[in-house]
Amino acid sequence: MTPACPLATVLYRFDDAARFPVFESHTTAKGTVAIHVDREEVGDFLRIDYQRHEADPDEVDIVLALPLVAVGCCRSAAEARAEVAVKRQLLLDVFGDASCCHLYLEGMDASGSLLALSFGPVDFTGWHTLRADASKLVSPVQFHRFRLTTAPSSHAVRLGVRSLSLTGEVRVAAAGMT
């Protein structure tokens, strides 16, 4: 497992299957996508299971709806004085299954730009922390979907996700709060 960043705020803990339902209208899987919680000593995590169906397209998208939160990215006073550009990162703790699926986080920033931040392929087994560049986000940001895209040759997916964090100073508020 990759060491965690010392200053990172958890945006989502994937520990309750009811909070992260399959977004049916954006999911292209023809079979049943199973979402459930698994338990380990260090905590619960969300397990995404999918066995390819004969009617599936070559690439299958499995999309989970995320509870809306507004994320404001702050810079510390020291960073502001030095005018240092901070390379923000999104950190996703993933239990890989070597399925080579790609993981994306989708949302919208303050400029109205749609976001699709890539964590890359899951070409490993066991726990790893994947990173996506979040340095160009225009605050505030709302994330609303987590997308998994299978590789054409993938036969099954059995992937775990534990948490999503953002490095640097962050303000998090539930949707609709100011």
In order along the chain (178 residues), what is the average pLDDT of each group of 10 residues? 62 94 95 94 92 92 92 60 64 94 93 92 96 87 94 85 91 59
Helix or strand run (H / E) with residue 80? helix 77-82
CA 85 to centroid of chain Cα atoms: 24
Q: Which amino acid is at 27?
A: T
User: What's the confidence (pLDDT) of residue 68?
Assistant: 85
Question: Over the range 39-58, which residues count as b (16 or more CB within 10 Å of their CB) and which as e?
Answer: eeeeeebbbbbbebeeebee
Question: Do the beta carbons of residue 90 and residue 130 sit within 8 Å?
Answer: no
Kindly state the tokens that stand for 127. Answer: 């726990």
- The yes or no reply on domain 8-174 and CATH 2.60.120.260 is yes
- pTM attached to this predicted model: 0.86
Check residue 85 and give its pLDDT.
Answer: 53
Q: In this predicted structure, what is the pLDDT of residue 3? A: 44
pLDDT of residue 104: 97
φ, ψ dihedrals at 83, nearest 5°: 50, 45
The strand ranges marked E within the chain are 8-13, 34-40, 43-51, 61-65, 69-74, 89-97, 102-109, 114-121, 125-133, 141-149, 156-167, 169-174
Q: Please list, in sequence order, all residues whose beta carbon lies within 8 angstroms of the beta carbon of residue 83, skipping any fewer than 6 positions away.
A: none
Contact 58, 125 (CB under 8 A): no
- Tell me if 154 sits within 8 A of 81, measured CB to CB: no
